[in-house]
Amino acid sequence: MPQADMARWRQWIIGERPLLRELAVLLLASLLIGLYFLEHLDSRLAEARRDYLGALAIQVAENAVEYTATNNLVSLNVIARRTGELTPVARVTLEDAGGRVLASSGDAAAGIPVQQPMHLADGGIVGVVKLWPAAETVTRKKVEAGFVLLVLCLLVLRVLLLMLERRLRGEPLWHLPPATPAPVAEQKPEPAVAAPVTAVLRLALVNEAHLRGRYTDSLFASLLAPYDQVLEQAALLYGGATQARLDEGALIGFQGEPADAAFKGVCAGMLFLKVSRQLAEQRKQAGQMALEFKLLVTGDTDPVRSLACCEAGVPGRLHVPENELLALSLDTRSLYRPEQALTVHCAGGDDLRLQPLEKLAQRYQAQINDQAMQLAVGAPESGVGSPQR
């Protein structure tokens, strides 16, 4: 198996570890309970067989006592043969009072036989009937097969219930590993590939015109520097190519299948938002200017139209055109509220509904949180304090 497939399976096992642990506990508990009941079943079956053989031995003794007393071996062999043909009987012997075998049927059997003396009318004993029980395997096999089927049904039912819960919560049915690895330190730039951009991440600085008027160009660039670095790292982490920096109307391009490229853009955007909020808190505590951004992920690569739609969004949120949620398969990997969608007027005279995303599904959001912690540690602080008047 290729190393990539092995790594993907390892990541899947790690992601589904709670489910696998629960299934293992359920299987172990079912096996213990099954073994307990099978042992009791064996003892009950053995007891029932011996009770049956006891009653049968009494009946055989009553029928054979006269033939034993008259030494009628022909009749005794007929009785022994018919008795030995019964399913619960492994072997039968008819013996006289001295222990001599007069008639028998069946192969040699181990174990303790059921014995019944043959009594005459005056109370004398003329012989003994001995019956050995046959091993009961058919009933046990049926019970074992039914138990295995029941355990499999329980395990499948638990998996189906989990899939239904995830579907109702809007999460993916299986926690598949994302397209890019999580550790930040090990990430390397992807080699340039001559492939078209199929999705873009657009950023717009809130109150950009006002800030440009209050700061010199150098101070404004210094103010954006830490955010630029975070954006560059987030884009690099998810295989995006920076086409424009923050002071130029940030634009990150993603290549590949449209659905995969759009999801990478959403992950990069969510990561940037997470780190920028942490950075804003740090800057506020230090008495520095904190910035806020609007984000848009779309398959429309027209730079003018995408920037206009991005600027029309809600500050501090990442938006996706409502008609692209299903088309790019983002509805199953992100959480959102349809009632919060807003209609905006974009370039070209078209009205477009933008859907703000709350967060990603649990598996992906957990990774975003881990990556944000690593990026936040290395994010530099700007020296810009009060605005330049």
Q: What pTM was computed for the model? A: 0.49
| CB burial of residue 32 (10 Å; 0-12, 13-18, 19+) | exposed
The strand ranges marked E within the chain are 89-96, 101-105, 114-119, 125-133, 197-205, 241-244, 251-255, 293-298, 318-321, 334-336, 342-345, 351-360
Among 19-28, 55-64, 186-195, 197-206, where is mean pLDDT lowest? Answer: 186-195
pLDDT score of 174: 67
The model's pLDDT over 317-376, given as tens digits with 9 standing for 90+, comes to 999 999 898 888 888 888 888 888 888 876 665 788 899 998 898 888 888 988 888 887
Contact assessment for residue 242 and residue 232, using Cβ atoms and an 8 Å cutoff: yes
Domain architecture of the chain: domains with CATH: 1-177 (no CATH), 198-378 (3.30.70.1230)
Question: pLDDT: is 115 or 189 the higher one?
Answer: 115
Phi, psi of 297 (to 5 degrees): -115, 130
The model's pLDDT over 70-79, given as tens digits with 9 standing for 90+, comes to 889 998 999 9
Report in angstroms the alpha-carbon separations of 346 from 185, 269, 313.
Answer: 39, 21, 11
Is a pLDDT exceeding 90 seen at residue 267? yes
Contact assessment for residue 90 and residue 133, using Cβ atoms and an 8 Å cutoff: yes
pLDDT score of 135: 75
Q: Could you tell me what percent of the chain has a pLDDT over 70?
A: 86
pLDDT score of 319: 92
The model's pLDDT over 197-211, given as tens digits with 9 standing for 90+, comes to 899 999 999 988 888
pLDDT band at 378 (very low <50, low <70, confident <90, very high): low
pLDDT score of 177: 53
What integer is the mean pLDDT of 93-104?
A: 89
What integer is the mean pLDDT of 283-295?
A: 87
pLDDT band at 30 (very low <50, low <70, confident <90, very high): confident
Pairing type for strands 241-244 and 114-119 reads unpaired
Amino acid identity, position 292: E
pLDDT score of 176: 58
Is a pLDDT exceeding 80 seen at residue 138? no
The model's pLDDT over 151-184, given as tens digits with 9 standing for 90+, comes to 889 888 888 888 888 778 766 766 555 544 444 4
The model's pLDDT over 228-253, given as tens digits with 9 standing for 90+, comes to 999 999 999 999 998 888 888 789 99
pLDDT score of 186: 53
pLDDT score of 178: 52
- Measure the CA–CA gap between 230 and 271, rounded to whole angstroms: 9
